[in-house]
Structure 1
Amino acid sequence: MTRLLPTLHDGNRRWWTLGAMCFALFMVMLDNTVVNVALPSIQRELRASLAGLEWTVNAYTLTFAVLLVTGGRLGDILGRRRVFLAGVVVFAASSAAIGVSPNQAALVAGRAVQGVGAALMMPGTLSIISSVFPPEERGRAIGTWAGVSGLALAIGPVVGGALTEYVSWRAIFFLNLPVAVGAIVVTLFAAPESRDESTQHRIDYLGIATLSLGLSALVLALVEGNAWGWGSARIVALLVTAAVGLAAFVVVERRAAEPMVDFRFFRSRTFLGANAVAFIVSFAMLAMFFFLALYMQNILGYSAVEAGVRFLPSTLMIILVAPIAGRLADRIGPRWLIAVGLSLVGTAMLLLTGLRVDTGYGHLLPPFMLMGVGIALTMSPMSTAAMNSVAVEKAGVASGILSMNRMVGGTFGVAALGALFQHLARNRLGELLAGSGLPPSLREELVRHLGSAQERMGSADPVLAARVGRAASEAFVYALSGGMWLSASLAFSGAVVALLLIAPGRIGHGSGDTRELAAAETFAG
């Protein structure tokens, strides 16, 4: 490494730094997609229910979402590079623990800890980039950052599918270890330390506690609502707890000397709009990948590798378009790019409402490609709009807020579509199996394990088992189509939000939207 040090100078340091941050981001995003492809294998080996699979995803995204703002704030206070490296270590250690997990509970617990590591890492990637690149180059840098994210999304399903099929689903977590080592080496070599020198260095513990309580209760209610009953005492108690926790968080943050979330950021319409878009696009994207991974393997019969390869058109579009979108955001501004991107995402979802039990891949290809282009046109301009609408000294906490809304959106997407999915599947399965003589308890068990329903019948009459298998597959597709309608509606509403809230033209520190924020602060004062 010492032989490479002379090549590092003021002219290229920021590009080496961008490479370091992209390397770490690659690890986080790779983990998202490899897990989706491995879900059916995890379901079979650990005999996990649909809710259990949701928690395999949501335990990670929930802790990730809840602690992202904390990770960004800690980076601003303690040093962004220092907190980032701590996150890499936690992420790698938890990945190793997941790889040896003996049961579903251990797997979910490991995923929760992995989310903590990711929460310490993720804000650092964007805040460090924002601190070393001037506003006129930031769109290009963030576009490259988003393109690397797309690269991880692209190869993740293939790598995950190959490891799952030929080695074990556990190998996908061990894959993080060498990537983590590389991220640490490159970061130590290239990335400078930075922090917010304008603060008194106080950590908002009460804000962390109230936000964690409110979000955790809300997501748990969404995931378990169908299983426990929406009118049950447990679900009602969780919803009340969520409302109280989130309301308390707002009150605490408004009174804190150094709040974890500075609500003055949201006086900027562009910052507010970018965060709303972050929630919406992640809601649509993660929910789609979650359920389509199950659909292609459990319903269409693809292997893990075959399913992974078929995701490639979507993620390759992200790789190709994201850097271009970043450059266009520098030139024309992010508003119209985001609106067009979300409209394409909504169109892709509408096309996916026509899925059937025997749908060919030719029907999946166009919406997959549209989805990739739409996500690429949305993500990097959205990030550029958010980061350019706040002072660079606040880049860490602003990045944390944006990333939190992305991850909360993904968590809500999987949880909300999971709740809708089970409701629609239960009703449809009841219609298709009317008169079959199956007891309600077995029908409920089939709903929780759609896609492997025929296997759940065990030694039952082969004719009945075949009927149950067909009915379960049809119920799965019916419920999936209903979920796609919900996601499409939300994506189109996001395009409207972008047009209404995000400022037209280029956005830079000290101009445009920043003046809007300064005026709001003056008026409030």
Structure 2
Amino acid sequence: MAGPPRQHVIRQAGQPPRARGLLVLAICCSSIFIVGLDTSALNVALPSIQQDFNASIQGAQWTLASYMLVLASFLIVSASIGDRIGRRRVFQVGLAVFALGSLLCALAPNLGWLIAFRILQGLGGSMLNPVALSIITNTFTEPRARAKAIGFWGATVGVSIAAGPILGGTLVQAFSWRAIFLINVPIAIAAYVLAGRYIRESMAAKRRRLDLFAQVLLVVLVGSLTYGIIELPMRGMSPAILGFFLGAAVVFVVLVWWELRRREPLIDLRFFRSPPFSGATAIALLAYTAQGGFLLLNTFYLQDVLAFSPVAAGLAILPMATLLAVFSPISGRVVARYGPRPSLLIGGLSVLVAGVITVIPHEDPHYFRLFFMYCLIGFGLGWTNAAITNTAVAGMPNRQAGVAAGIASTMRQLGQTLGVAIIGSIIAGQVVEVAQTPAFMRAYHISWAVIGAIGLANLVIGLVSTSPRAMRAAEVNTERMGAAARD
């Protein structure tokens, strides 16, 4: 009996059956939920981890940093492998590794082993988000249906942010920080089983060579840059940190040189000739810098200045996360009908207004003003999130949809890391202890000014990268890429 064909590629002319398509979307969204939940929930558990293991705050923070470092380093590589050997296969491997890493984290006997298991967990997480997004783009092939599906994908980000601090605080108080990891295991197992049953295997139509050297360079580049960003607030621009940044710059030059010489590169640099794609990656980096900085800043502000409990702080941030979740699918529908420009402009303007309102002198605390700013941030990021993803993958060849999605996901992860680094440096530069309220409030206003400036930058980039001229350039670039692929 003949064995199964080596490749099984989905070639759909239209939208999949509705029930199966929605189930595939739910399975894929579960991946971003557990990856996002794991980070947001763990924030509130850091003091408990520090106390249990008698660790320094820097040591406890590396339980977050190690995960972010690996996740950012392997996103594009995992997406590329999924395009080559099968997206469902890589997605299921990622779920299995993530579940195993989560279980081992819950059983970790000391901080060193916890950090090691977090690295394993991050490796599994890197196989989930970009590969799942590629599965969505290859399942929902009709543009409007795809835009709506990606909108719901973006809404899941808000749900994980909202649920994380509240769920994490509840689990730590009722059980221990180990329960935060255990909750991932049944979700990942269920997603694994359902993926095997309902997600059809797909991969790039043309089997391309594996660019191992570029993959190594990419891991070194993103890893060095992420490590430098994470360590910068604690160690300053020391020779070691400067060496990481200079090394990243050298590796970047070598990577570009290498990829331009390759007939089948890991990252097709022709993507960046498309102004909408380049603009989307820049906006992703900046938007998630604002989000990462916002969460760090207001975690300190709510808990250490206003004396909120972890659960109360999570509830206070709920308006931001709720509006992000609500308006991401709405933005997806708007993108499907009118293109990404309205969503990007609304998103950038909202974040800008939030920053401007905050830096206007006023008496602190002012709870209504705080509530209004949190709503503006969530509203703006919700509009931006779906537009980023749609713009990044729209018009790109399906054979490299995973790489395009991986680039956007990497920019998000790097943005969150950069936000923590920048806002952490601002706080550290102004105060010794957060309890020094006047000094912290200076850092608080400076940080919000940075967030507002990011909103202004995204407003300008969104305006320029989605202009009629930019869209025409994107169409020309897509045609050229298609012609080159046929040749």
Could you state the TM-score of these two structures normalised by the residue count of structure 1? 0.83
Q: In 2, distance between residues paired with 1:78 and 1:27? A: 24
Q: CA deviation at 1:477?
A: 3.5
Higher radius of gyration, 1 or 2: 1
CA contact (8 A) 1:390 1:514 kept: no
The answer to whether the aligner puts 1:407 opposite 2:413 as a matched pair is yes
Q: In 1, distance between residues paired with 2:359 and 2:58? A: 23
CA contact (8 A) 2:72 2:226 kept: no
SS at 1:359's partner residue? coil
The answer to whether the aligner puts 1:397 opposite 2:403 as a matched pair is yes
User: Cα RMSD between the aligned structures?
Assistant: 2.7
Q: Give the residue type in structure 1 aligned to 2:19.
A: N
Q: CA deviation at 1:259?
A: 1.8
CA contact (8 A) 1:40 1:298 kept: no
Structure 1 residue aligned with 2:164: 156
Q: CA deviation at 1:180?
A: 0.7
Q: In 2, distance between residues paired with 1:46 and 1:481? A: 35
Alignment of 1:325-364 (within 5 A): 325-353=331-359, 359-364=365-370
CA contact (8 A) 1:300 1:358 kept: no
Q: CA deviation at 1:494?
A: 1.4
CA contact (8 A) 2:276 2:470 kept: no
Which digits, 9 at most, give the CA deviation of each residue in 1:279-315, with x for residues without a partner?
Answer: 1111110121123223222222211211111111111
Which digits, 9 at most, give the CA deviation of each residue in 1:90-132, with x for residues without a partner?
Answer: 1111112222334443333333322211111111211111001
Structure 1 residue aligned with 2:317: 311
SS at 1:198's partner residue? coil
Give the one of 433, 447, 453 matched to 1:489.
Answer: 453
CA contact (8 A) 1:34 1:161 kept: yes
SS at 1:12's partner residue? helix
Structure 2 residue aligned with 1:287: 293
SS at 1:311's partner residue? helix
Give the 3 Å change call, closer, same or farther, for CA 362–214 of structure 1 in structure 2: same
The answer to whether the aligner puts 1:515 opposite 2:469 as a matched pair is no
Q: In 1, distance between residues paired with 2:132 and 2:470? A: 23
Q: In 1, distance between residues paired with 2:474 and 2:175? A: 51
Q: In 1, distance between residues paired with 2:124 and 2:139? A: 23
Q: CA deviation at 1:181?
A: 1.5
The answer to whether the aligner puts 1:197 opposite 2:197 as a matched pair is no
Q: CA deviation at 1:52?
A: 4.1
The answer to whether the aligner puts 1:211 opposite 2:218 as a matched pair is yes
CA contact (8 A) 2:97 2:123 kept: yes
Q: In 1, distance between residues paired with 2:19 and 2:114? A: 42
Q: CA deviation at 1:334?
A: 0.7
CA contact (8 A) 2:75 2:127 kept: yes
Q: CA deviation at 1:33?
A: 1.7
Q: Give the residue type in structure 1 aligned to 2:28.
A: M
Q: CA deviation at 1:48?
A: 5.1
Structure 1, unaligned stretches of length 5 or more? 1-8, 426-446, 452-469
Which digits, 9 at most, give the CA deviation of each residue in 1:52-72, with x for residues without a partner?
Answer: 455333322221112111111
Could you state the TM-score of these two structures normalised by the residue count of structure 2? 0.89
Q: In 2, distance between residues paired with 1:299 and 1:308? A: 15
CA contact (8 A) 1:267 1:517 kept: no
CA contact (8 A) 2:21 2:139 kept: yes
CA contact (8 A) 2:397 2:482 kept: no
Structure 2 residue aligned with 1:188: 196
Q: In 1, distance between residues paired with 2:469 and 2:94? A: 36
Q: In 2, distance between residues paired with 1:335 and 1:182? A: 37
Q: Give the residue type in structure 1 aligned to 2:406.
A: G
CA contact (8 A) 1:76 1:396 kept: yes
Q: CA deviation at 1:17?
A: 1.2
Q: In 1, distance between residues paired with 2:239 and 2:48? A: 34
SS at 2:308's partner residue? coil
Structure 1 residue aligned with 2:393: 387
Q: Give the residue type in structure 1 aligned to 2:474.
A: D
Q: CA deviation at 1:39?
A: 3.3
Give the one of 147, 170, 179 matched to 1:139.
Answer: 147
Structure 2, unaligned stretches of length 5 or more? 1-15
CA contact (8 A) 1:333 1:505 kept: no
Q: CA deviation at 1:157?
A: 1.9
Identity score, percent: 33
Number of positions where the alignment pairs a residue of Structure 1 with one of Structure 2: 469
Q: Give the residue type in structure 2 aligned to 1:284.
A: A
Which digits, 9 at most, give the CA deviation of each residue in 1:185-238, with x for residues without a partner?
Answer: 2212221110002133x22221122222223223333333354342x3322322
